Amino acid sequence: MAITTEAAVLRAVAEPLSIEPIQIQSPAHGEVILEMGAAGICGSDRYVIEGTYPVEPPAVCGHEGAGVVVEVGPGVQSLEVGDSVVQIFKGPCGTCRYCQRGLKTFCPTGMDSSGRLRDGTYRMFDESGAAVGTHLGLGSFARHTVTPERHLVKIPEGVEPAVAALVSCGVSTGVGAAVNVAEVRPGDAVMVLGIGGVGAAAVMGAALAGAERIVAVDVKTEKLALAPGYGATDVVDASAVDVADAVGELTDGWGVDAVLLAPDRVRPEHYETAIACLGAAGVIVQVGGTSHDMDSIPVSPNLLLAQRRIVGTTIGGPDPARDVVRWIDLYLAGRLPLQKLITQHYGLDEINIGFSDLVAGRNIRGVVTMSGDRH
Ligand SMILES: [Zn+2]
Ligand SMILES: [Zn+2]
């Protein structure tokens, strides 16, 4: 059954999103229609809208969404009408070499930025009848959207949609970077550089894993003021002091066991700081993307002889669907206070304000709540 809904459409890169009525056709094989509850405003959406990451306008962007299944297409096995779900932008095929080995995040067919659905066609159409893409097969910035089953994870009922939405990308990336990739152990010293939504979640992940010292580093005092609420034991203002000196003092000169690099864009100087703060057998985890003028890592190979490691991560580990369930269960058990990451809610028609606030660094995480407005 066709549905008329409303969506924030990217008409041209670097233009504000346009709030428009949209027709959604019936779901095809393996697809479901969702009534969206909330969608997080993630830093990578900004780079899609600005045209840095690939996108084919017109398209509905957004990749950090939560909703409820309202219609199920043929062949859908794991979901039924009424199920609460979150969207994941890496949708594994389940059968390739990586998927068979549990490395689902790296499935070569897991992500498609063409805006078309898996069969190469579209489900969304504007008032003139022209096709509108669903970016990454998700299109979260809409009151309803169509999503392939492989990009959805069923979650327990009753989770606040705004919290559920964040788990699909930012939370999984940050918590997973600490728990799965850095493998933080009880008693470790951890530094998190960049306290946005992902960095704040990384602080929470380090706390969950039992880190003894968690040093939050940022250049914004408002963000550092919130860091202890996420589990940071110390904060360092990189705009005011030398980070390596400060971390050296906090760790009696030993350095930290893990550095989680989570600034908006990783730059060479972030690596220099990370190396200066990293103890022997420590690990640097690059959590965010690099700036586009950065094509190498400024590290002396001699430093690696003391078992130091440098790794990166996408969505905080190899199996996003498994982790979505784990982090939501821990949230429900009161062990991961994810609601604290949300510093502003926006209505769908206020989404461009949300992006302005993101660019200005005003939020840890802003969330578009479909039933609400700015608060
Ligand atoms: Zn994201
Ligand atoms: Zn695969």
pLDDT band at 118 (very low <50, low <70, confident <90, very high): confident
Q: Please, are residues 6 and 142 in contact by the beta-carbon 8 Å criterion?
A: yes
Instruction: Give percent of the chain with pLDDT exceeding 70.
Output: 100
**pLDDT value of position 74:** 97
pLDDT band at 54 (very low <50, low <70, confident <90, very high): confident
Which ligand ends up closest to the CA of 98? Answer: 2
Query: Quick one: CA torsion of 314, 319, 320, 323, rounded to 10 degrees?
Result: -120
Tens of pLDDT along 192-214? Answer: 999 999 999 999 999 999 999 99
pLDDT band at 152 (very low <50, low <70, confident <90, very high): very high
How far, in Å, is the centroid of ligand 2 from the Cα of 96? 4
pLDDT at 220 over 80: yes
**Helix, strand, coil % in the chain, rounded to nearest 5:** 30, 25, 40
- Residue 332, classed as helix, strand or coil, is helix
182/286 Cα distance (integer angstroms) = 10
Which ligand ends up closest to the CA of 168? Answer: 1
pLDDT at 1 over 80: no
How far, in Å, is the centroid of ligand 1 from the Cα of 45? 7
Which ligand ends up closest to the CA of 109? Answer: 2
**pLDDT value of position 101:** 97
Which ligand ends up closest to the CA of 201? Answer: 1
364/251 Cα distance (integer angstroms) = 27
**pLDDT value of position 290:** 86
How far, in Å, is the centroid of ligand 2 from the Cα of 98? 6
**pLDDT value of position 293:** 81
DSSP 8-state code for residue 363: -
Contacts of 61 (CB under 8 A, 6+ apart): 8, 10, 17, 45, 48, 49, 55, 135, 139, 140, 141
Which ligand ends up closest to the CA of 91? Answer: 2
How far, in Å, is the centroid of ligand 2 from the Cα of 110? 7
Tens of pLDDT along 231-253? Answer: 999 999 999 999 999 999 999 99
Which ligand ends up closest to the CA of 111? Answer: 2
Q: On the CB side of 189, how many CA atoms lie within 13 Å of its CA?
A: 19
Which ligand ends up closest to the CA of 61? Answer: 1
How far, in Å, is the centroid of ligand 1 from the Cα of 241? 30
Tokens of 37: 């509850």
How far, in Å, is the centroid of ligand 1 from the Cα of 140? 11
Which ligand ends up closest to the CA of 314? Answer: 1
Phi-psi region of 316 (alpha: psi -120 to 50; beta: other; left: phi over 0): left
**pLDDT value of position 372:** 84
How far, in Å, is the centroid of ligand 1 from the Cα of 87? 11
pLDDT band at 289 (very low <50, low <70, confident <90, very high): confident
How far, in Å, is the centroid of ligand 2 from the Cα of 97? 7
How far, in Å, is the centroid of ligand 1 from the Cα of 97? 25
Q: How far apart are the first and last CA of the chain?
A: 34
Q: Please, are residues 319 and 98 in contact by the beta-carbon 8 Å criterion?
A: no
**pLDDT value of position 374:** 84
Strand runs labelled E in the chain = 3-10, 18-24, 31-41, 59-60, 65-72, 84-87, 124-125, 131-134, 144-148, 152-154, 189-193, 213-218, 234-237, 256-261, 278-286, 309-312, 342-346, 365-369
pLDDT at 272 over 90: yes
Q: What is the set of domains in the chain, with CATH numbers?
A: 3-154+337-369 (3.90.180.10), 174-312 (3.40.50.720)
pLDDT at 323 over 90: yes
How far, in Å, is the centroid of ligand 1 from the Cα of 133? 18
Which ligand ends up closest to the CA of 47? Answer: 1
**pLDDT value of position 298:** 83
**DSSP result, 124-164:** EE-TTS-EEEEGGGT--SBSEEEEEGGGEEE--TT--HHHH
